[in-house]
Amino acid sequence: MSAAAIPVEQIKTITMSIYRYDPTVDEKPYMQDLVVEIPTDKDIMVLDALHLAKQQEPSLSYRRSCREGVCGSDGMNINGKNGLACVTPLSEVLKRNKITLRPMPGLPVVRDLIVDMKQFFDQLEKVKPYLITKSDSPDIERKQTPEDREELDGLYECILCGCCSTSCPSFWWNPDKFLGPAALLQSWRFIADTRDEATEERLDDLEDAFSLYRCHGIMNCVSVCPKGLNPTEAISNIRNKLLTREKN
Amino acid sequence: MIEKDNRPVNLNLLTISLPIIGLSSILHRISGVAVFFSFPLIVWVFSISLKSENSFLMLSNLLQNSIAFKAITFLILVGFGYHLLAGIRKLISDAFGVGETLESGRVLSWLVFGATFLMAVLFLFYLF
């Protein structure tokens, strides 16, 4: 999209205050205000506005791929609240013609709006986010009733954008010990799966002071999830399962 | 992280929005710490009140006339009241699974704030 091709009467200017940091040049990050011309005949997304800003400032860096809320690449902190730039309408977040963009909190900044997601994916890896089976494989496939399958609704949709975990104070202070809402949602996704045969081991792995129990129900995760999922409820389900299971 | 990491982290809490449920949860923690540290003071005042009839009357007189004494008592009572109510809310959430959606969580947080406000008004009325 090029602002130059739009008739003048359909353009307005907004200020985008963007977190900038280039490790090869900058000692410290700083906020840069860019005045950007945006079209007024349609409501563009924050990501579109970023593209327009990048035409002015080609060194501006951010991740993006599918630009429709599926790949989970462009998670960022928009006016203080995490979200996906590609599915956040600019009109919803503009305040007095201004928008502030920062990288997702709590993770090391690689450059500008790009954070290093290693800690996030390390935590995901710990919950073994795949089906574990011990019985012999059936001839065709492991089947589920539609009701059992329904248990996974609200869990399988996670796109691992990291918005939830990086908005969670418990994850900020203990990113290596507390698994974080995203990983715990996936943990429950496999505990709740009737085809999975490692429920006990999964629960054993969570039974320490930090992995799961560092969740204090702050619910920032629920309020930011761009897919409308509820990690707090998943965490509560795991907790109940841990408390009610018969100890061997 | 084990290796030294010099990369910046965006964690300026003043720039990150805190929804009402988060605020309620963090105030629960803060009020808990405050109540914990006020405990020695409460025990000390309590021990003075038990020393003799005179010391009891002296404290009773302070509570009726000293603005500073009233203000400290008020703050401790409100802090304790908020902590108690928010704690009960958390117990209810844990036991019955209510307040785990965004809407119900917000309602419960507002209820706790509202009840604390009423309690504070009552304390004000009683103390001042």
* A165 touches B at CB < 8 Å: no
pLDDT of A136 higher than 90:
yes
pTM of the shown model: 0.91
Structure confidence at residue A6 as a pLDDT band (50, 70, 90): low
- Burial of B21-54, coded b for 16+ CB within 10 Å and e otherwise, reads bbebbebbeebbebbeeeeeeeeebeeeeeeeee
Q: Once rounded to an integer, what is the mean pLDDT over residues A67-75?
A: 97
Domain boundary among A115, A141, A175: A115
Q: What is the structure's pLDDT at B77?
A: 95
B56, amino acid identity: F
Interchain contact, B10 vs A216, CB within 8 Å? no
What number of H helices and E strands is found in chain A? 9, 7
Q: Which domains does chain B have, with CATH numbers?
A: 20-127 (1.20.1300.10)
Q: What is the pLDDT of residues A8-39, one digit of tens each?
A: 678 999 999 999 999 999 999 999 999 999 99
Total of domains in chain A: 2
Whether residue A134 is found in the same domain as residue A235:
yes
B10, amino acid identity: N
**Chain A residues in contact with B15 (beta carbon < 8 A):** 77, 80, 100, 102
Interchain contact, A230 vs B100, CB within 8 Å? yes
Domain boundary among A94, A115, A136: A115
Angstroms from A139 CA to nearest CA on chain B: 40
Interchain contact, A108 vs B5, CB within 8 Å? yes
Q: Once rounded to an integer, what is the mean pLDDT over residues A220-236?
A: 97
ipTM of the complex: 0.86
Counting Cα atoms < 13 Å in the Cβ hemisphere of A98 gives 8
pLDDT along chain B (128 residues), means of 10: 79 94 95 95 95 94 93 95 96 90 95 97 92
pLDDT of A7 higher than 80:
no
Domain boundary among A115, A146, A181: A115
Whether residue A15 is found in the same domain as residue A80:
yes
Q: What is the structure's pLDDT at B97?
A: 87
Interchain contact, A236 vs B97, CB within 8 Å? yes
pLDDT of A3 higher than 60:
no
pLDDT of A180 higher than 80:
yes
Return mean pLDDT, chain A. 95
Q: What is the structure's pLDDT at A2?
A: 52
pLDDT of A236 higher than 60:
yes
Q: What is the structure's pLDDT at A4?
A: 56
